[in-house]
Amino acid sequence: MGAQHADLIDQLLSITAGSRLDQIRRHREIARDNVQKAYDALFSPQDAGAVSLLERFAIAGFVAGLHGQLGLTDHYIHRLTLLEGGPALAVIVGSETERGAVQGPYGDYPAGPLSPENKPGLHYAAAPDSRQFLGAKLSAAFEHAHLLVFRPRDASRQALQTLLDAGWSNDGIVTLSQLVAYLAFQVRLVEGLTALAASASQTTTEATFSQALAAGANS
Amino acid sequence: MTTTISHPDNVPPVAFTQAELGWIPWLDPLTEADLTDRHWAGLVDASRSKSPYFMLLARDPEVLEARTKADKDIFYNPNGGLPRAERELSATATSRHNGCIFCASVHSRFASTHSKRRDDVQRLLDDGLGADLGERWNSVKHAAVALTDTPARFGETEIAQLRANGLDDFEVADVISTSAFFNWANRLMLSLGEPTPAQ
């Protein structure tokens, strides 16, 4: 420990030391470091007792896939396939991702003035065959993850009771919730930074800046 | 068998507001007697042991610690980037779009405090994401909403609009991280408990 840990987002976006994106990220260096630490805490946990690594990577692959974030989906599915039982599970994750992929956010508000903004949409349940393969606990996690990804305002106490009834503990539910919510953050950070990186070549901000400097030096 | 905590006497707010709401959990938070050094480190500020939300999240202390430190840097770091008011605007627009009445109440209040534009902030809450907040705020709002859509549809158009309103790379990056961060926060607040009315 104490060695420099690789940064997943830098790897995914091929961000090199000193590059424009590296400078942008290091402008909020504490955030940058802790985004990675949260990833480490979720996927190399000190204590995986409440949620197994197999469960963590399967859920992460499903959630990244539902967001259509290809780089992160590949990453989590790859990590899943390295685990015992992972390759077979990855097949189910793939088919359930296809079944569950819709567009959000949607869902209902508490009855009242916001009710006209209610928006219907899929209430996902794992396919019967998948459910049999995943078992009650992981099936319930997938269904809860889908709820959090696409219709977070539909979340309810009953949804947590469903998790408890399926064998989740209080500690496990907190970790599961953090995992799905973190992924919702991570996919957007990757999407946003990818777009920002792409915008460089179009606006050539740095080149324009250098030209302006050069012009200034010449005048 | 563990069960959830019901709050039969609570009447959760049904509209967006800048008022100071409370929040109560559906699962048992830890108690101070449960806390080890690992948990205290996870809470970051000892005063957070008074918050049922943070004491519930302390069930996974390493994730909570990293989340809290990222949160503080994204929103409070005064070194350049987006003015604080607009970071809070981004959080508010994100929360409005996902439908987190509690998160929107906290961050709309901060947006108002830092911008002195309480009426504009209130129109965002009342009228929704179509509210006209002026060009620069509209560009931040649109970008936050585009990134909050699932799948996200944030790209060239949003960045061009932000740049047209004078945002540089560091400011655009702050729009991205504040909106992304509230996609994390909204999902925890909405799914682990419920808001309570202002006192």
Q: Which amino acid is residue B161, in one-letter code?
A: Q
How large is the ipTM?
A: 0.98
Do A38 and B63 make contact, defined as CB atoms within 8 angstroms? yes
Is the separation of the CB atoms in A170 and B26 below 8 Å? no
B157 and chain A in contact, CB less than 8 A:
no
Is the separation of the CB atoms in B91 and B179 below 8 Å? yes
Q: Give dist(CA B69, CA B74) in Å, integer.
A: 9
Query: What pLDDT tens digit does each residue of chain B (199 aa) get?
Result: 689 999 999 999 999 999 999 999 999 999 999 999 999 999 999 999 999 999 999 999 999 999 999 999 999 999 999 999 999 999 999 999 999 999 999 999 999 999 999 999 999 999 999 999 999 999 999 999 999 999 999 999 999 999 999 999 999 999 999 999 999 999 999 999 999 999 8
pLDDT per residue as tens digits for the range A154-196: 999 999 999 999 999 999 999 999 999 999 999 999 999 999 9
Q: How confident is the model at residue A34, as a pLDDT?
A: 98
Q: Give dist(CA B154, CA B142) in Å, integer.
A: 9
Q: Give dist(CA A77, CA B122) in Å, integer.
A: 43
B59 and chain A in contact, CB less than 8 A:
yes
Phi and psi angles of residue A94, each rounded to the nearest 5 degrees, phi first: -60, -45
Q: Give dist(CA A83, CA B177) in Å, integer.
A: 32
State the average pLDDT over residues A68-88.
98
The residue count for chain B: 199
Q: How confident is the model at residue A6, as a pLDDT?
A: 87
Q: How confident is the model at residue A59, as a pLDDT?
A: 98
Q: Give dist(CA B96, CA A9) in Å, integer.
A: 28
Find the helix or strand (DSSP H, E) in which B148 lies.
helix B135-148
Residue-by-residue DSSP string for A9-76 = HHHHHT--TTSHHHHHHHTTHHHHHHHHHHHHHHHS-S--SSS-HHHHHHHHHHHHHHTT-HHHHHHH
A78 and chain B in contact, CB less than 8 A:
no
Q: Quote the minimal CA–CA distance from B168 to chain A in Å.
A: 10
Q: Which residues of A touch B188 (CB under 8 A)?
A: 177-178, 181
